Amino acid sequence: MADKQWVNRANCIRCYYEIIELLEDKSVYFEETYGTQPLFKAGLHFGHVITGEMGIVKREIVYSGDVLNTASRIQSLCNEMNTDILLSNNLLKQIDLKFLDKEFKSVGNITLRGKQQKIELVTPC
């Protein structure tokens, strides 16, 4: 079982913002080299994931579990919710907010595609 302190310290959310900052620092390079800026959106969730190593000739680590599907469904709602990052309230409850310089607001209890139970989603204010 993973050490809960890494979730508690909000590393997943802080990582997202550090990547955004790095991309902004390189914005001139991207614009001059490619004529565009890389953008991405994130959906974050909390739960157990199964990991395994697959393959004989070409080995790769594979992750599986409902939490990955749920995170993907959350991320797919970013455009609809007009935000670049959404997370489940289940994840937010695990985090000690003193590690973040952010406040969060609920965007509602949403039924995700392929799911029966609603899940509360939050986004930074």
Query: pTM (2 decimals)?
Result: 0.83
Which range has the worst mean pLDDT, 3-7, 22-26, 33-37? 3-7
49 in Cβ contact with 89 (< 8 Å): no
pLDDT digits (tens, 9 = 90+) for 67-85: 999 999 999 999 999 999 9
- Can you tell me the distance from the alpha carbon of 55 to that of 71, in angstroms, rounded to the nearest whole number? 26
Res 101: pLDDT: 85
- Can you tell me the distance from the alpha carbon of 19 to that of 24, in angstroms, rounded to the nearest whole number? 9
Other C-beta atoms lying within 10 Å of the C-beta of residue 68: 14
Q: Taking residues 106-120, report their average pLDDT.
A: 92
Q: Taking residues 50-68, report their average pLDDT.
A: 90
* Structure tokens belonging to residue 65: 């579990």
Bridge partner list, 64: 50
Res 7: pLDDT: 67
